[in-house]
Amino acid sequence: MLQFSVDQQTCTRCGLCATDCPQSIIQQSGDDLPRIAPEQEDSCVRCQHCLAVCPTGAVSILGKSPKDIPSQRVKDLPSYEQMDLFVRCRRSIRQYKDQNVSPEVIRRLLATLAYSPTGRNESSLTFTVIDDKAVLAVLREKTMKRLSAFIQAGLLPERVDFLKGIAAPYFEQGKDFVFRGAPHALIVTAPLSVICPQEDVMIALSYFEFLARSGGLGTVWWGFLKILLETIPDLKPLYGIPSDHAYYAMLFGHPAVRYARLVQRDDAAKIRVLSV
């Protein structure tokens, strides 16, 4: 049940909830209260647009009451100039302090991450977090040993022959090109049955990167893990990744490096204006 209800005392019959409903399942005419017919409930994508758009807080849905949700105030949002600088300052962090991030900080990051958009609002993402550097250290050792054995058995495909160059330095010199000494990792997965699983995963991680950076943390997209797990699929269960899920991952933690200035990329974008 959607638990869609409208307070008749505060509803102005403006029709905004019906107009803004992505599925067009909210019906309203004249002075009648907005309603959703029972046979239409299965079409709801649970986006809560109706609750959010109502100017008087008259609409409740999914057991969510507008009285328990703060109103959005544009003045509290970052300005364009602030966001412009935030994007330009972005750096991949490959040097981390050897310390855990506060569990409370990680909890808040993941709670906010639930707001990242997904195709058709399916919200089928799973966020697997490695929140202790000791756990990631164990995973690192197991992964690198499995890679070394894979190489020694002559099983490494030619297309990823470059992986030979990361195993030897790790065991012989302690150089960590895969885990980068990071204390934490976030792995986002989505079932292949949803409409756009890989896109949902990448969008969520993009949101996480922004959130983590705003909290003073560093991040780096963990492409090496993707390459390793696709090369050696029997490592996937070690990271809690189901075989029928799309996935990607990100390393994060307190950065051990600070960048003094921006880089110059204004001329790097290829822009094309489409006309008909």
Task: Clarify whether residues 151 and 27 are in a common domain.
Answer: no
- What's the domain count of the chain? 2
Q: What is the pLDDT of residue 74?
A: 72
We report the CATH number of the domain holding residue 57 as 3.30.70.20
- The pair phi, psi for residue 6, each rounded to 5°, is -130, 130
Task: Indicate whether 276 belongs to any domain.
Answer: no
pLDDT tens digit string along 164-211?
999 889 999 999 999 999 999 999 999 999 999 999 999 999 999 999
Domain of residue 39: give its range. Answer: 5-68
> Averaging pLDDT over each range in 25-39, 69-83, 205-219, 262-276, which range is the top one?
205-219
Does position 149 have pLDDT exceeding 90, yes or no? yes
Task: Categorize the per-residue pLDDT at 229 as very low, low, confident or very high, splitting at 50, 70 and 90.
Answer: very high
Q: Give the Cα separation of 71 and 68 in Å (integer).
A: 10
Q: Give the Cα separation of 270 and 118 in Å (integer).
A: 27
- Ramachandran region of residue 161, left (φ > 0), alpha (ψ -120 to 50) or beta? alpha
Q: What is the pLDDT of residue 23?
A: 94
Task: Categorize the per-residue pLDDT at 76 as very low, low, confident or very high, splitting at 50, 70 and 90.
Answer: confident
Task: Categorize the per-residue pLDDT at 71 as very low, low, confident or very high, splitting at 50, 70 and 90.
Answer: confident
Q: Give the Cα separation of 7 and 25 in Å (integer).
A: 18
Task: Categorize the per-residue pLDDT at 79 as very low, low, confident or very high, splitting at 50, 70 and 90.
Answer: very high
pLDDT tens digit string along 47-65?
999 999 999 999 999 999 8
Task: Categorize the per-residue pLDDT at 131 as very low, low, confident or very high, splitting at 50, 70 and 90.
Answer: very high
* Over residues 207-233, mean pLDDT: 97
Task: Clarify whether residues 194 and 230 are in a common domain.
Answer: yes
Task: Indicate whether 74 belongs to any domain.
Answer: no
Q: What is the pLDDT of residue 192?
A: 97
Task: Clarify whether residues 207 and 102 are in a common domain.
Answer: yes
We report the CATH number of the domain holding residue 106 as 3.40.109.10
Query: How far is the CA of 211 from the CAs of 36, 112, 122, 136, in angstroms?
Result: 36, 8, 22, 21
Task: Clarify whether residues 53 and 92 are in a common domain.
Answer: no
Q: What is the 3-state secondary structure (H, E, C) of 182-199?
A: CCEEEEEEEECCCCCHHH
* Over residues 211-227, mean pLDDT: 97
* Over residues 215-219, mean pLDDT: 97
* Over residues 245-265, mean pLDDT: 95
Does position 251 have pLDDT exceeding 90, yes or no? yes
Does position 266 have pLDDT exceeding 90, yes or no? no
Does position 267 have pLDDT exceeding 90, yes or no? no
Burial code of 150-183, b = ≥16 C-beta within 10 A, e = fewer? bbeeeebeeeeeebeebbeebeeeeeeebbbbbb
* Over residues 247-275, mean pLDDT: 93
Task: Clarify whether residues 128 and 227 are in a common domain.
Answer: yes
Task: Clarify whether residues 106 and 147 are in a common domain.
Answer: yes
Does position 29 have pLDDT exceeding 90, yes or no? no
Does position 216 have pLDDT exceeding 90, yes or no? yes
Task: Indicate whether 82 belongs to any domain.
Answer: no
Query: Which amino acid is residue 140, in one-letter code?
Result: R
Task: Clarify whether residues 172 and 229 are in a common domain.
Answer: yes
Task: Clarify whether residues 28 and 109 are in a common domain.
Answer: no
